[in-house]
Amino acid sequence: MLEPDPHFAEFVAERGDALLRYGYVLAGNPHDAADLVQEALLKLRAAWPRLRRKENAESYARTTMARLHIAAWRLRRRERLVWDLPELEHHDQVPDGDEQRMWQAVAGLPRKQRAVLVLRYYEQLADAEIAAVLGISSGTVRSQAARALDKLRTAIPTEPMPRGNLR
């Protein structure tokens, strides 16, 4: 358990309201803003003895709040909450021949290439986000995607588009 620190208590008393306003601007509602402030202050309190420049403690707290907000936003954007339960059961369609071949070809890709394609086209992540998730560089993301798409193009031949009048 951490010993009480009067300097930390002074910081919270002086800058707590400003942090709450910053949290409100980030989150858009007072409840999430209070949660952001509370979590950031907990992290700041744990790091307080190691903090070299205590005059920049508010900057540390604001950065922590922004990162916490982004992390929560990333989790929530993948969820889709609805009030009404579905009335009918949902059964996925069995893929037809072309789709079946596509999924088999995707399943046959190396793991990293498959992960890059799924994150890019299914999860709609940008190259930088994919790089962060997989722990690789953005250049590696692009090269893995290009290699995977080349393999898919050779595995699944497509018919050329007809030339001429498209009316």
Cβ contact 48:5 at 8 Å: yes
Residue ranges and CATH numbers for the domains of the chain are 6-77 (no CATH), 97-155 (1.10.10.10)
Answer for the pair 144, 112: CB distance below 8 angstroms, yes or no. yes
* Interval 27-51 mean pLDDT: 90
Placement of tokens 């001429």 in the chain: 164
pLDDT at residue 132 greater than cutoff 70: yes
Asked if residue 22 lies in contact with residue 65, where contact means CB atoms within 8 angstroms, the answer is: yes
Average pLDDT on 44-59 reads 86
Quick: pLDDT tens for 57-97: 888 898 898 888 888 767 666 666 677 766 666 565 655 66
Cα dist from 67 to 39, 144, 165, whole Å: 11, 28, 53
